[in-house]
């Protein structure tokens, strides 16, 4: 993906809500007014909800351009807040390609060249697999919780539900490429939107949830689309085929050895 600023490492926000009112505020969070939800807690709870203690999902990712389109089938494993493994299952020519994230460090593996490459921090904001998602978006860790200052912009209504609109601005010390991000979190913990603004306040790209379904026993953002403002007609859409939350996944699944040699989990 393109950037408008010097390379600065950041991590993406997955979103959703949940334990919001129960979580205690920590450093960097905006104070909440009495009777209003703590915006930092909303973001934290959303991340926890999205990942669960662990998750095992299969998704389709379609990259659409005006003159071509391609679809990848991916398996995505998460464990805790800092381990993610994404493996390409199809098409055959890309099968086996993998991305591993452990505690903020990312590696990629290509079976074509049989090499594991560590992704430098300066490349975390770049396109992942040619899509409109960045490496950071794929990582979806919770670093944003403590490295951003959060503010509740308002509460909207959508289909009879409340939707919390939270603005997240990186702290001065945070190695983040964006100037600010705005997320919309439905009161059943589903992320409805995520806007990314550059340092000049211009909207660069936005993600929208197009379909919500109960999957894995909970409401899930089953179809999401990421679009860049300066590239109309181009988008990347992710559809969840199946997901299991709280799946038993060993830590051994998140090693360089497992990245290079896919195993059955």
Integer Rg of the chain from CA: 18
Q: What is the pLDDT of residue 117?
A: 95
Contact 46, 72 (CB under 8 A): no
Structure tokens at 137: 């978006």
> What whole-number distance in Å separates Cα of residue 155 and Cα of residue 66?
36
Q: 162 pLDDT band (50/70/90 cuts)?
A: very high
The structure tokens 């197009």 sit at 210
Give 3's DSSP letter: -
Give 12's DSSP letter: P
Q: What is the pLDDT of residue 28?
A: 35
**Which whole number is the average pLDDT over 240-256?**
94
> What whole-number distance in Å separates Cα of residue 232 and Cα of residue 242?
30
pLDDT digits (tens, 9 = 90+) for 58-70: 999 999 999 999 9
> What whole-number distance in Å separates Cα of residue 8 and Cα of residue 170?
11
Beta-sheet pairing, 161-170 with 218-228: unpaired
**Which whole number is the average pLDDT over 224-237?**
96
Q: What is the pLDDT of residue 144?
A: 75
Q: 47 pLDDT band (50/70/90 cuts)?
A: confident
**Does a cis peptide bond (omega within 30 degrees of 0) precede residue 186?**
no
> What whole-number distance in Å separates Cα of residue 178 and Cα of residue 175?
9
Structure tokens at 149: 């200052």
Tell which wins on pLDDT, 12 or 207: 207
Instruction: Using alpha carbons, list the distances in angstroms from residue 251 to 88, 102, 115, 193, 197.
Output: 20, 10, 22, 31, 35
> What whole-number distance in Å separates Cα of residue 124 and Cα of residue 174?
14
Beta-sheet pairing, 115-119 with 105-110: antiparallel
Per the confidence metrics, is the pTM higher than 0.75?
Answer: yes
From 227, 70, 76, select the one nearest 138 (Cα to Cα): 76
Tell which wins on pLDDT, 48 or 260: 260
pLDDT digits (tens, 9 = 90+) for 61-95: 999 999 999 999 999 999 988 899 999 999 999 99
Q: What is the pLDDT of residue 34?
A: 52
Residue 18 has pLDDT above 50, yes or no: no
Q: 4 pLDDT band (50/70/90 cuts)?
A: very low
Q: What is the mean pLDDT of the chain?
A: 84
From 14, 23, 78, 86, select the one nearest 47 (Cα to Cα): 14
pLDDT digits (tens, 9 = 90+) for 106-143: 999 999 999 999 999 888 888 999 999 998 887 656 67
What percent of the chain is modeled with pLDDT above 90? Answer: 64
pLDDT digits (tens, 9 = 90+) for 176-229: 789 999 999 999 888 899 999 999 999 999 999 999 999 999 999 999 999 999
Q: What is the pLDDT of residue 53?
A: 85
Residue 3 has pLDDT above 80, yes or no: no
Residue 9 has pLDDT above 90, yes or no: no
Contact 227, 241 (CB under 8 A): no
């Amino acid at each position: 993906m393109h950037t408008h600023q010097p390379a600065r490492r950041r991590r993406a926000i997955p979103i959703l809500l949940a334990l919001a009112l129960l979580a205690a505020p920590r450093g960097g969070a905006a104070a909440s007014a009495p009777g209003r939800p703590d915006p930092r807690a909303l973001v934290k709870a959303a991340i926890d909800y999205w990942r669960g203690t662990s998750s095992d999902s299969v998704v389709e990712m379609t990259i659409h351009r005006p003159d071509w389109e391609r679809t990848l089938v991916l398996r995505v494993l998460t464990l805790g807040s800092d381990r993610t493994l994404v493996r390409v299952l199809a098409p055959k020519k890309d099968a086996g390609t993998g991305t591993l994230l452990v505690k903020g460090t990312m590696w990629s593996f290509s079976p074509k060249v049989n090499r594991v490459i560590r992704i430098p921090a300066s490349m975390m904001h770049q396109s992942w697999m040619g899509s409109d998602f960045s490496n950071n978006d794929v990582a979806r860790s919770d670093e944003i919780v403590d490295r951003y200052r959060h503010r509740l912009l308002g509460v909207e209504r959508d289909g009879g539900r409340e939707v919390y609109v939270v603005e997240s601005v990186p702290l001065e010390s945070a190695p983040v490429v964006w100037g600010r991000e705005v997320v919309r979190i439905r009161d059943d913990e589903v992320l409805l939107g995520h806007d990314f603004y550059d340092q000049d306040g211009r909207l660069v790209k936005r993600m929208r949830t197009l379909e919500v379904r109960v999957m894995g026993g909970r409401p899930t953002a089953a179809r999401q689309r990421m679009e860049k403002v300066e590239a109309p007609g181009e988008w990347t859409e992710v559809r969840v085929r199946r997901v299991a939350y709280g799946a038993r996944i060993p830590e051994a699944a998140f090693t360089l050895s497992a990245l290079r040699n896919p195993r059955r989990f």
